Structure 1
């Protein structure tokens, strides 16, 4: 993968020509020539990257281009650093600056010499693409592999030959798919089966395709396998020939010379007025679907098109065109995985010996329910001596290397790598970057986005922020099944994602091979000489102290000792752009070495015990993200205002004691409005003597997307409203009053930001701010301790996009009433601390989208909500610290009227706060069990109040 480094280098060369080259005119022409040569080479790299694995000559050439591009990038960045040294003020500073200028001049000449040297080598290697291009042209674009074993054979078609005895966990999805295909409307529909490589999509669909009911129902059944290199004409020819064979007609004589339009016309004619099932297996791109979809007539015969794909956008496009259903292929459950593993590993009795069980389960856990690696790894283990536990344990400890080195396991990597090879260069960088994170852990969405921006992976696009472009990159990786969503917000936004273990192993190995990133962990205690990103997940090895890290761009340290951090930071890290020390234990002091890292764009001490930030932070003038979330920092120095490129300033922590969920922010220094690029500012404490000026200053931050303010005084409300009106990009607003009984005056906001979606208000409100019921964009609303005089539901129930509402002590309800047709899109509601509330009434037709209800600290509530039986989509109902009578009805009396009202709800929980945590009991009912007397009780503990998680 050299296209990414070359693209980044081209951007830096352009910047260099614009800003630095005027100092040395004699190299201007040389740099321009190099830029032009790289631009010509870049187009060819896309072809070369696809040939790397099959041609050794291409592989060497690509590696040379990549490594020299890295070297040139280093030279340019080092040159840029020569102009950012800070010598201080006064006579000493002047003398140092004078001496520094002389040294800088010499250093600049050395840098120019380095630039010329690397430039000459790079241009020479770039010219090699002309010779390679000629070779490809002579070979008709086909390059023979230099691998003695010959080209890799695609074994995905093996799924079509599996016996039923090799299948596990397939009966229920097969039944559902057969039902989808046979039942339903007479119009033509599509069934899209979506999932990552190795999930067994083809295996499942083949079992459906061969099902007796399917054979009987459809007059024509045709299977066509796509691939990344499939040509449309060839696919259509194959399809036409198979259809002609089934209807017992000879294929048209022109089939071998016809274009795609004629072929589609002929296919459509053959299928017309016949009930058909067309399987399109392994469709990679929407344009492939677009190229064949018009061949399938919609003639009211109940015909179906079924496709398998790794990409969600292919499924969405097909459903948008034809209508139908999407089936998301899922990994095997633990029990099914174990059954398949034992069946293939121990074919005699399908039982794992007790002495191997722990080792085998550890190996199996790495497959995470993917049938392909389960079967492949089982085949390797089946040949090992069951008495030699050391052999089995060796596989457990070295599974990553075993997959790379074992011919029988290579096809796992090959199948999974197909998705990586299909990525554009900018997404390849983002995918490889996933190698730096700890295995098996979730990755916060916004952390990932900020890191990609800081790393320089994100391209500028007109009308969009870099973060918005990066969000698109993330969605594309999710769309391609290379990432999985593990947590979402109540309004449907991705909150956290993860990468499958085996996909991460591919990212780790490719990152290492391409000098993109290296990791130090329990399995790999060393890293290569050339490393640009380093992720350390254990102790910093003393044997590595002398290893040069001068070219390092990113350093991640997770689960390491404080001494290891100090050892790492003693290295020269002048080009470091990312320093992520999240959750380093016992780290209380801001490391002094950090402020000398002038290239830093991302700095995180999240979940550490750091208490203060030095005034020298002002040296980091390239910093874009400063993450001090969940630290003990409460004040920032005035020098923070020098960080004019800062985009995300996160300084806050939470503390929870019983029901109290408190936030602590920071006191901002003067002139916060000078940080013009700020997008996220959380949380400002606004209770000092200059709070009014601060509220006015906020109006200058016109790029803000999220603003969070604590301890707002009543008299500053008008100034804040005036500023908020100027923040036209604001999406989320959180404001808390100085004291719980302090009035929160936000009535003066005449023109709320048009994009505002999430509002969190804590403090006394004389009335619901008049502008909130006018916000059609709002999706989330939290109101706490408002003590309103009028029922807020009347003004909120008609908001068209409101999805999530949390209410704590906002109004003195005795009976809470939900009117018919109110809150049409509300999915989640939390009610907390309503001491006079005796009943809840739901009219038929109210809350039609409702899925979750949480009620807590309503001591007088003795009955479940009246009309709750109308809420047919309700999935979760939770009661905490309510009247004992209500608990008794739910816990013991499954014949009571209240119990029968909630019998249709799959998940029911209730509990109380004891011994510093929530003691939660649950009754879970799903499917036909919901509504029966069968129930299972379980307990869980949580420190956060359920309503405010």
Structure 2
């Protein structure tokens, strides 16, 4: 993190130098000096995180800490200068313009610059002292940083890691199924040489599993040549090849070639190829970290077409995938242990195989839940608990409550900590801050993808890349963390976009510990009694009766609220200094008015008042000239002041709320009235949802065409006569990915026929209102993945025009067509996975030809009162998993009963989940088809479907 902090500040200084600030020569000189000193320091910090984690050299750790602290102080000084300069610039333009006032501003600015120059001098002096101190530490520093990434303590851990190679069968649980699969892949594969990759997060048991497969009798019998190669760090390709030669020489009983120590890479490759040629071999490369490690060895593995195999273990999915692409093969993603297997392993270690005492049951379950099926964590924590007396319940409970502290301070958990930390230390500098940032969210929190991206951008973590938006670069960062198995996907949209992420609880404990040690972020809970005096990021997770004791200095950059906070506590929080704040997230806070203190937060880039009761946005919001995200979703705000148009850096403007009185209401979402003005001046805007077009409509719609960076646009209350102007604007939005349009009322026509050249990258389209005919340009949207049509009342069958959309995966149609028949033709809708049909009042027959909808997984049919039978041909939908009927005739449901009377039951027998739901008193009663007769006889309902399944319907 020291390297990350230094590089972050260097980038800021580079941007500062490029500006046109009029500075005293002394300030410029000190800033130039600061850049030079930081660049010298940066070159010494390449492997600082590994050293800080593994080295026993306390002097070196203190040195790295000093670098981090002085970098933060330097950043504070630079930020304060920019703030002072901007303040005088703004005030000078808004208040008196007389000569006396201008002179006063100049004097104040000069005083500020002299003060800042003095502060910079002091910082530069400290940096020079720190650099000089490095020379005194030169010997240990060069050994630790420029030598191996693993110091002696690290090597000790690595030796312990190899204990996994010698575990007895009765010490291993939960691997029978994956072992059988891997053995089958090895012995039943074709004649081509193949690679089998085993991936998963650190500590999940990859080495243990592959070693058991490697030693299996059937595997040994199938391969004449066996070799197990542990890939050491730091990686040296020649040393790895020499290790292979030594292993293979022993196996084939041949002397090690003379002069091997002096051979070059090509010579070593040739020797290995000759040793393996014409032999059926199995070679395991354990713990590959990077693609270049695979590239270094793959050319030594000949393809004699005799069924040879290569296995690799890695924490990185891309290493496994690319190695399999090179040689063909398969990837096995090792999953965590199940709850039952984890409990078996836990009791075996903690209680020597005896049952858990009943009075410790809940405590042990909570501890085990944090392990989340990670075998190394289960073994490590149960091993610690095994040393404790079972009657000391307080000691067991302390580990449950303070697991992070225990991991940090207990020597018996050192291996677990280092295994989990290795992946963090391997991150490039630009990902380390992003990863530590995940610790601000509460335990078990589902992290929204776009929220996280916007926060990272606001913090300045995302580096600009030519030709790409910051959001696109941030998505690459997320993909990299997923690839490294440091994050988990917790929820996806129907079109396969990740919506939520989460992190493993134990990884989160490691993150929180590192964040606290490096003063990156502080988590405050009810039981928190102390915290650092110089907090940079503060995340409050629950109600805090002692919040008045918090002293927030000017160093604070981010403030988060999670959970209920009393109004008095909020008022007390604002007594601190927030002049350098970049992020303010007051989601769900008990606010009714816009906080007046926000007006002074010049640096603020991210402001979320989501799910508060704020009703109005004041005109002084114009002062937030750096604001990039304004999140007012699910507030009471319905109108924005015209001053919002002065925020030219705004990238995401979210202002809408829901009011659902019935699930089928025409209006379930409400946007905001835009003030008359030049909305086209917001050139950085990427997301605009949802703007009401009914006020000064032509002007607003015309201005939208100037927002050439717009990715998502939501328009409400559109009139028929406004269609032409809107079409002209949409044609200019070349980067648009998502478009949502709602008419003023259910019978108002949406006229989009004049859109001759729709955005070529459009992926999601939502049209709510009357359509006289389906827009002719929709079939040309080859990138379209989601399409929602509501209240269209088309005269012609829309399926004819939609069936050849090549990438459509989600289609929902509500009161779209008045015909009596819908027919899904063979070979059409090739990628559709979710289909919803609602309120087709005359629909009597749905036909699915064999070969149609080959990928359909979920079919939902609503309120089609004339439809008395399931779709003909539904038995052909072999991938259908969920079939749900909402407010459908009982006659149809009765035909699906499995009691022998349901004549159509055989058609849906292959479907895993079949439900019937009815809207009652503002909510859904949901039954499995098996329990339908119980509902008819007024008995308790059957299986209730999760509300998350219902929310996918009709949600734009």
The two structures share one fold, judged by TM-score above 0.5: yes
Contact 2:26-2:117 at 8 Å conserved across structures:
no
- The separation in 1 between residues aligned to 2:312 and 2:604, in whole angstroms, is 47
Tell me how far 1:304 sits from its aligned partner.
1.5
Alignment of 1:807-818 (within 5 A): 807-818=813-824
- Partner of residue 682 from structure 1, selected from 686, 689, 705: 689
Report the equivalent of 1:17: 17
Contact 1:698-1:723 at 8 Å conserved across structures:
yes
Instruction: Classify the secondary structure of the residue corresponding to 1:40.
Output: helix
- The separation in 2 between residues aligned to 1:895 and 1:273, in whole angstroms, is 65
Query: Residues 399 and 50 from structure 1, CA distance in 2 versus in 1: closer, same or farther, beyond 3 angstroms?
Result: closer
- Partner of residue 749 from structure 2, selected from 734, 739, 743: 743
- The separation in 2 between residues aligned to 1:654 and 1:475, in whole angstroms, is 32
Q: In the alignment, does 2:498 pair up with 1:497?
A: no
Q: In the alignment, does 2:642 pair up with 1:615?
A: no
Alignment of 1:836-855 (within 5 A): 836-855=842-861
Structure 1: state its 5+ residue gaps.
925-935
Alignment of 1:125-144 (within 5 A): 125-129=130-134, 132=137, 141-142=146-147
Report the equivalent of 1:65: 67
- The separation in 1 between residues aligned to 2:902 and 2:155, in whole angstroms, is 72
Tell me how far 1:115 sits from its aligned partner.
1.5
Query: Residues 227 and 605 from structure 1, CA distance in 2 versus in 1: closer, same or farther, beyond 3 angstroms?
Result: farther
Provide the alpha-carbon RMSD of the alignment.
Answer: 2.4
Structure 2: state its 5+ residue gaps.
931-940
Tell me how far 1:237 sits from its aligned partner.
1.8
Cα-to-partner distance string for 1:296-336 (whole Å, 9 max, x where unaligned): 22222122211111111111211211122111111111112
Alignment of 1:159-198 (within 5 A): 159-198=164-203
Q: In the alignment, does 2:252 pair up with 1:209?
A: no
Contact 2:835-2:858 at 8 Å conserved across structures:
yes
Q: TM-score, normalised by structure 1?
A: 0.95
Contact 1:923-1:938 at 8 Å conserved across structures:
no
- The separation in 2 between residues aligned to 1:255 and 1:66, in whole angstroms, is 45
Query: Residues 461 and 721 from structure 1, CA distance in 2 versus in 1: closer, same or farther, beyond 3 angstroms?
Result: same
Report the equivalent of 2:699: 693
- The separation in 1 between residues aligned to 2:230 and 2:153, in whole angstroms, is 28
Query: Residues 651 and 161 from structure 1, CA distance in 2 versus in 1: closer, same or farther, beyond 3 angstroms?
Result: same
Q: In the alignment, does 2:832 pair up with 1:826?
A: yes
Tell me how far 1:132 sits from its aligned partner.
4.9
Q: In the alignment, does 2:711 pair up with 1:705?
A: yes
Tell me how far 1:90 sits from its aligned partner.
8.0
Alignment of 1:444-459 (within 5 A): 444-459=448-463
Contact 1:680-1:707 at 8 Å conserved across structures:
yes
Query: Residues 540 and 92 from structure 1, CA distance in 2 versus in 1: closer, same or farther, beyond 3 angstroms?
Result: farther
Report the equivalent of 1:928: none
Contact 2:741-2:766 at 8 Å conserved across structures:
yes
Query: Residues 469 and 267 from structure 1, CA distance in 2 versus in 1: closer, same or farther, beyond 3 angstroms?
Result: same
Tell me how far 1:120 sits from its aligned partner.
2.3
- The separation in 1 between residues aligned to 2:899 and 2:151, in whole angstroms, is 75
- The separation in 2 between residues aligned to 1:543 and 1:801, in whole angstroms, is 52
Report the equivalent of 2:284: 279
Number of aligned residue pairs: give it. 936
Cα-to-partner distance string for 1:9-64 (whole Å, 9 max, x where unaligned): 11222233333664212343342233123223312210333322303232222211
Tell me how far 1:897 sits from its aligned partner.
4.8
Report the equivalent of 1:518: 522
Contact 2:9-2:71 at 8 Å conserved across structures:
yes
Instruction: Classify the secondary structure of the residue corresponding to 2:658.
Output: strand
Report the equivalent of 2:446: 442
Contact 2:547-2:569 at 8 Å conserved across structures:
no
Q: In the alignment, does 2:576 pair up with 1:571?
A: yes
- The separation in 2 between residues aligned to 1:22 and 1:29, in whole angstroms, is 13
Q: In the alignment, does 2:541 pair up with 1:534?
A: no
Q: In the alignment, does 2:315 pair up with 1:310?
A: yes
- The separation in 2 between residues aligned to 1:420 and 1:91, in whole angstroms, is 51
Contact 2:562-2:587 at 8 Å conserved across structures:
yes
Contact 1:570-1:593 at 8 Å conserved across structures:
no
Alignment of 1:247-646 (within 5 A): 247-349=252-354, 351-522=355-526, 524-540=528-544, 542=546, 545=549, 547-561=551-565, 562-584=567-589, 586-646=590-650
Query: Residues 140 and 619 from structure 1, CA distance in 2 versus in 1: closer, same or farther, beyond 3 angstroms?
Result: closer
Tell me how far 1:543 sits from its aligned partner.
6.7
Tell me how far 1:526 sits from its aligned partner.
2.6
Contact 1:836-1:858 at 8 Å conserved across structures:
yes
- The separation in 1 between residues aligned to 2:274 and 2:449, in whole angstroms, is 49
- The separation in 2 between residues aligned to 1:30 and 1:946, in whole angstroms, is 57
- The separation in 2 between residues aligned to 1:656 and 1:909, in whole angstroms, is 23
Instruction: Classify the secondary structure of the residue corresponding to 2:808.
Output: coil
Cα-to-partner distance string for 1:831-868 (whole Å, 9 max, x where unaligned): 11112222221112212222222212122222222222
Q: TM-score, normalised by structure 2?
A: 0.94
- The separation in 2 between residues aligned to 1:387 and 1:747, in whole angstroms, is 77
Contact 1:160-1:202 at 8 Å conserved across structures:
yes
Report the equivalent of 2:41: 41
Contact 1:220-1:246 at 8 Å conserved across structures:
yes
- The separation in 2 between residues aligned to 1:871 and 1:827, in whole angstroms, is 11
Contact 1:41-1:129 at 8 Å conserved across structures:
no
Tell me how far 1:476 sits from its aligned partner.
0.5
Which stretch shifts more, 696-705 or 833-842? 833-842
- The separation in 2 between residues aligned to 1:222 and 1:886, in whole angstroms, is 63
- The separation in 2 between residues aligned to 1:850 and 1:945, in whole angstroms, is 19
- The separation in 2 between residues aligned to 1:185 and 1:321, in whole angstroms, is 16
